[in-house]
Structure 1
Amino acid sequence: MAMPLPASDEASPVERPDFEVATARETFELFSAQAPRGWRVELIEGEIYVVPPANGEHEEIVAEVVEQVIARRSDKALRNFTGIGLSLPGTGDPVRVIPDLAIAPKGSFGDKQDWHAPDPVLLVAEVTSASTASRDRVQKIRAYARARIPVYLMIDREADEAVVCSEPHGDDYTHKSIHKLGTEVPLPAPLGFTLDTAAF
């Protein structure tokens, strides 16, 4: 469910209503505080998205990626984070996202904050759902590239593909490779190992 932001232009003194219009950030914080457990609330490019808990197939894929990262990583200090909130740079309000998976060094998120800078993140992964696929394919590519996250892995269930985006530049990635699900998917540096999507 997407909710457009309230208009940011202030009305003239004659037209101004007796109540104040909440900012996008205030509305987002309100939704986040009231969301039921397991629901995700994200703010991306001026819209608030409320995402229900994922289905079983989605979670099985995330769990498989996590297991393969643990087994195949060369840097044993890397950790998998699911449900971590990232605050990314945006053109207006900061972008607030909760990727399905983030890979970063141990201790990167040791504070008690709800939202974190993306600086230590080496890879983010999203597994598409019918309700999130368009955002994962477009807005999140822009958001993760702007944040200079080195690798964005998208498991596109609807297209039956794994898309690996690397080398962020501006609001896009300069290198994208597309692989059919069921094949071996090489992940570039700084990960540098192959993901076996046959297990999906």
Structure 2
Amino acid sequence: MTIHRTARHAQMSIEDFEQIARTAPETVKFEFINGRVEVKPMSDQLRKAMTMWLLTECMRQRPELALYPEPGLVTEACRTGRARPDGALAPFDNFVGHGEWAPADGVLMTVEVTSHDHDTNLRDRVEKRDGYAAAGIPVYLLIDRDTQEVVVYSAPQGGRYQNRAMHAYGATVKLPHPVGITLETEKLKDYTR
């Protein structure tokens, strides 16, 4: 395995990363973001509750879709990233037959709920957002627990989302096409600490 130490190169090849991720214990989930191996933070109970609330809303309004928890997605430009969003909204069976790391084709929206760790700003607010845009995922929904906002990114073009809408908890949030779901976010206030 070749590991590069410079910021301009990936720490290792995609193949080496996938081998490490495949052999890791079930309690550890790895991601490959911007050429770096990252350990996905474990969800606390409030983060899980937020994800379950969103899953319920998605199923109620778009029963033909599923919000898959933590799927392995191929992301970033040239498909060099490997991410595990907190959720990915896609048609049923979208990931069947793709193994641990599925292409982002068919994914309508990715979801991240910020964790309270030291690198959530770079990881969730910048790197993963940009990786999802580069993969052409139409909508990125960020539930930001630090700012108590729901941030909706949409219209990916040239590796960046062209639109960003920020809403305080309690607002009515209309997720754009192709998602087409309206979220009444008052419930998120119950999950603040």
TM over 0.5: yes
**Residue 171 of structure 1 corresponds to which residue in structure 2?**
159
Residue 68 of structure 1 corresponds to which residue in structure 2? 57
Task: Classify 1:38/1:182 alpha carbon distance in 2 versus 1 (closer, same or farther; 3 Å).
Answer: farther
Q: Name the counterpart of 1:42.
A: 31
Aligned to 2:106: 120
Unpaired stretches in structure 2, ≥5 consecutive residues = 189-193
Return the offset for 1:106.
Answer: 1.4
Pairwise mapping of residues 30-109 of structure 1 onto structure 2 (< 5 A)? 30-73=19-62, 76-90=63-77, 94-109=80-95
Residue 97 of structure 1 aligns with an amino acid whose one-letter code is: A
Deviation of the 1:130 alpha carbon: 2.2
Decide which of 186, 192, 195 is 2:180's aligned counterpart. 192
**TM-score, L = length of structure 2:** 0.85
Q: Deviations over 1:4-49 (max 9, x none)?
A: x93279xxxxxxxxxxxx8333542343134332432000111110
Q: Letter of the aligned partner of 1:111 in structure 2? A: G
Report the alpha carbon displacement of residue 107 of structure 1 after superposing the two structures with TM.
1.9
Which one-letter code corresponds to 1:48 in the other structure? Answer: V
Q: In structure 2, do the counterparts of structure 1 residues 177 and 112 end up closer, same or farther at CA, with 3 Å as the change threshold?
A: closer
Letter in 1 for 2:87: L
Distance 1:33 1:88, change over 3 A: same
Deviations 1:39-82 (A, max 9, x none): 32000111110123211011000000000111122xx3211211
The 2-side partners of 1:89 and 1:54 are apart by: 24
- For 2:136 and 2:28, the matched residues in 1 are separated by 27
One-letter code of the match for 1:87? V
Q: Is the contact made by 1:6 and 1:23 (CA closer than 8 Å) also made in structure 2?
A: yes
Q: Corresponding residue for 1:7?
A: 4
Q: Determine if contact 1:127/1:157 at 8 Å carries over to the other structure.
A: yes
1:123·1:152 contact (CA, 8 Å) conserved in 2? yes
Instruction: Name the residue aligned to 2:147.
Output: 159
Aligned residues between the structures: 181
RMSD: 2.1
Cα shift at 1:112:
5.3
**Contact (CA 8 Å) 2:130, 2:159: kept in 1 or not?**
yes
